[in-house]
Amino acid sequence: MAIKVSPLAPDAFPTLSPVAGVRLAAYNCGIRYKGRDDLMVAELAPGTTVAGVLTRSLTASAPVHWCRKGLVGGSARALVVNSGNSNAFTGAAGESLVSQTVATAAQLVGCAPEEVFVASTGVIGQPLPADKIAQNLGAAWEKLDEASWDAAARAIMTTDTFPKGAVATCVIDGKTVTLNGFAKGSGMIAPDMATMLGFLFTDAAIAAPVLQKLLSRATDRSFNCVTVDGDTSTSDTVILVATGQAGNAPITELTDPRLRPFAKALDAVCLDLAQQIVRDGEGATKFVTLTVTGATSNQAAKRIALTVANSPLVKTAVAGEDANWGRIVAAVGRAGEKADRDRLVISIGGVQICANGMEVPGYDEAPVAAHMKGQEIDIQVDLGLGRGKATVWTCDLTHGYIDINGSYRS
């Protein structure tokens, strides 16, 4: 049965040009899905640096534990990513699967095991045979090329209805630098680190410590500002690799002014991917931009924004096209940050609804009701207390979410 693509999906997967020093492939291991690829592999040129942001979940998957150790070395030569099984809460069997996968990939590439990074997404708690992935790596490696971006992005999908990709370019030392990225995510999205899975590739020459700081900062502005359902995954992983093949002189300091265009490009790609994940939220029909201003700090603004964005009552009101601003008031009040009833101002679609502790006199709900019928919903909350601000993105909560997750394992 064909998957119904989200009504919020982009028109097409973007054209991702080759990134020097990166070859990719997709392959069908038969982990869970029939008739589609469920494995993505990437081979990276010698000298590639790496950064990563990983889930803070205390029940993190075996691949997350492996990547956490590998990031210490700052070098990467291969990525191996599977969908259909998260290899989380699988005990010794999960660790064995990672070990065999890594050992086989390291042999194929001719690198140290710690230069192989792995990630998995799918059902939690179902062990796989230790060689399930390893036995297919040789065949997958034979398919490596510089152009398989779309196929790679599709191979890591689970309940996603469309592959998510983004691209940006910039100039460093007169050299054109390319940054490609793809991600997966649709449900269990409240990252607290990154997103479900995201992989970013650039040919810039940037030292690993600098790359790590850039990625952490970009993540806080993008992947950590989206939520679909308030659930952080055991497998959340974002990996950024830099092959150094563009020809720029290596950047080794965060204060290097040559970083500015690259940092801007990285922010743009991460935000694009993060918003695509929300647009593919399970059962989603509306994309919500929620802006909070006037908080006592940026951190307070973000906490308030995420409290509103994660409220099932707010999200179902959006799904029902009901401008029930009282639910927003309630969420602001329980966020655990300072708020003053008489200073709070709430607007939807640019129309001010409440202020001075009550509904705006003469408030006309008609334009707000019309706004709620659209696919792009804007909610603004001003606390009137300080200069703190934050923007987060979420989606509505429909019965489609229940349909998908009520039968996820079947």
Report the catalytic residues: 195
CA dist 164 → 211, 235, 404 (Å): 22, 18, 19
Q: Which of 308, 287, 305, 309 is nearest to 374 (CA)?
A: 287
Contact assessment for residue 150 and residue 165, using Cβ atoms and an 8 Å cutoff: yes
Query: Measured on CA atoms in the order 53, 59, 62, 66, is the torsion positive or negative?
Result: positive
Return d(Cα 173, Cα 161) in angstroms, integer.
40
The answer to whether 253 is annotated as binding is no
What amino acid occupies position 266?
A: L
75 is in an annotated binding site: no
Show Cβ contacts of residue 125 under 8 Å, excluding neighbours closer than 6 positions: 88, 89, 90
Q: Is 286 annotated as a binding residue?
A: no
Nearest Cα neighbor of 329 from 354, 303, 350, 349 is 354
Looking from the CA of 272 toward its CB, the CA atoms found within 13 Å total 21
**CA nearest 170: which of 220, 209, 214?**
214
Tokens of 138: 């040789």
What is the C-alpha to C-alpha distance for residues 296 and 309, in angstroms, rounded to an integer? 19
> No. of H helices and E strands in the chain?
11, 15
User: Does 184 appear as a known binding residue?
Assistant: yes
- Yes or no: say if 222 and 273 are a contact pair by the CB < 8 Å rule: yes
Tell me whether residue 264 is annotated as binding.
no
Largest CA distance in the chain: 72
Q: Is 43 annotated as a binding residue?
A: no
C-beta of residue 132 within 8 angstroms of C-beta of residue 87:
no
Q: Which amino acids are annotated as binding site, given as ranges?
A: 158, 184, 195, 282, 405, 410
Q: Which amino acids are annotated as binding site for substrate, given as ranges?
A: 158, 184, 195, 282, 405, 410
